[in-house]
């Protein structure tokens, strides 16, 4: 039995929901509200589970109640423990290309735009909403430009040829965030087309933020 501690709008949690669906793994979802109660991820009971005080967290009851933080660590774990169907290609170079693009999203775009960083900009630094939005869009535009170029190796197909995997599990949530903050996606046709093809699939539809049990 797998349990995912999640927040509907967390794009890191969204990545894991997609990966679980792609692998056809059933899971129980426990919501952790990142805003209510001063952030439920900081509450003592959740901190005891995940000292990183972030979502997602995967608990694998079959594997001794293993608790795994960080969305990409969870994706790698799922790939190792439940290898079929694979979400990474088999060839080491192709795996590296997928990981390099996924890590560009996870390390160069998302960390700069997550909730606690935006809160710090508004709070401690007194940045106004217009400048905060410009910050958000700057990192999205810079990062997606790199991802757009990187997608050329897939030549209009999914990262696994005929089906999506690890890369798309990271890309689609980032596109969701970009749309939410009205970022201009016009310069990124490969990204838009790939995201739209994924979003038509049930594994992505049922992972979407707005259909999660804690969506508001």
Q: Considering only residues 106, 167, 169, 172, which one is a binding residue for a second copy as defined by CB under 8 A?
A: 106
Q: Residue 117 Cβ, how far from a second copy at the closest point, in Å?
A: 7
Which tokens sit at 189?
């046709």
Q: How far apart are CA 92 and CA 203, in angstroms?
A: 26
Toward a second copy, which CB reaches closer, 113 or 212? 113
Gap between the terminal Cα atoms of the chain: 27
Q: Which of residues 29-58 bind a second copy (CB under 8 A)?
A: 51-54
Tell whether residue 81 is a contact of a second copy (CB under 8 A): yes
Tell whether residue 215 is a contact of a second copy (CB under 8 A): no
Toward a second copy, which CB reaches closer, 117 or 199? 117
Q: Please name the helix (run of DSSP H) or strand (run of DSSP E) that holds residue 69, with its range, or none.
A: strand 66-69
Q: Residue 95 Cβ, how far from a second copy at the closest point, in Å?
A: 7
Q: Considering only residues 84, 93, 155, 186, which one is a binding residue for a second copy as defined by CB under 8 A?
A: 93
Tell whether residue 108 is a contact of a second copy (CB under 8 A): yes
Residue 50 neighbours by CB under 8 Å, 6+ apart: 5, 41, 57, 67, 69
Q: Considering only residues 30, 150, 163, 176, which one is a binding residue for a second copy as defined by CB under 8 A?
A: 150
CA dihedral 186, 183, 111, 194 (to 10 degrees): -40
CA angle 141, 144, 149 (to 5 degrees): 125
Q: Which of residues 175-194 bind a second copy (CB under 8 A)?
A: none
The residue whose two tokens read 């596109």 is 175
**What DSSP line would sit under 180-216, residue for residue?**
HTT---TT-HHHHHHHHHHHTSHHHHTTSGGGSTT--
Count of residues interacting with a second copy (CB under 8 A): 46
Q: Considering only residues 119, 120, 179, 196, which one is a binding residue for a second copy as defined by CB under 8 A?
A: 120
Tell whether residue 18 is a contact of a second copy (CB under 8 A): no
Report which of 147, 167, 212 is spatially closest to residue 19, judged by C-alpha positions. Answer: 167
Footprint on this chain of a second copy (rule: CB under 8 A): 51-54, 60, 63-64, 66, 68-70, 72-74, 76-77, 80-81, 92-93, 95-97, 99-100, 103-104, 106-108, 110-112, 117, 120-121, 124-125, 127, 131, 134-135, 138, 146, 149-150
């Amino acid at each position: 039995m797998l349990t995912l501690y999640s927040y509907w709008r967390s794009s890191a949690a969204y990545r894991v929901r997609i990966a679980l669906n792609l692998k056809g793994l059933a899971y129980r979802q426990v919501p952790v509200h990142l805003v209510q109660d001063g952030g439920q991820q900081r509450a003592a009971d959740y901190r005891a589970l995940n000292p990183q005080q972030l979502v997602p967290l995967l608990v694998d009851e079959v594997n001794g109640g293993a608790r795994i933080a960080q969305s990409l660590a969870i994706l790698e774990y799922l790939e190792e423990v439940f290898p079929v169907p694979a979400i990474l290609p088999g060839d080491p170079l192709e795996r590296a290309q997928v990981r390099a693009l996924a890590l560009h999203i996870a390390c160069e775009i998302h960390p700069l735009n997550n909730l606690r960083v935006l809160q710090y900009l508004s709070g401690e630094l007194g940045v106004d909403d217009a400048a905060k939005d410009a910050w958000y869009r700057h990192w999205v535009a810079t990062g997606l430009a790199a991802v757009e170029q990187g997608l050329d190796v897939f030549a209009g197909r999914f990262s696994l040829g005929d089906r999506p995997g690890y890369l798309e599990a990271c890309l689609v949530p980032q596109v969701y965030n970009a749309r939410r903050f009205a970022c201009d996606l016009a310069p990124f046709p490969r990204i838009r087309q790939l995201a739209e093809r994924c979003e038509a699939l049930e594994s992505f539809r049922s992972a979407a933020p707005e259909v999660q049990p804690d969506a508001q």
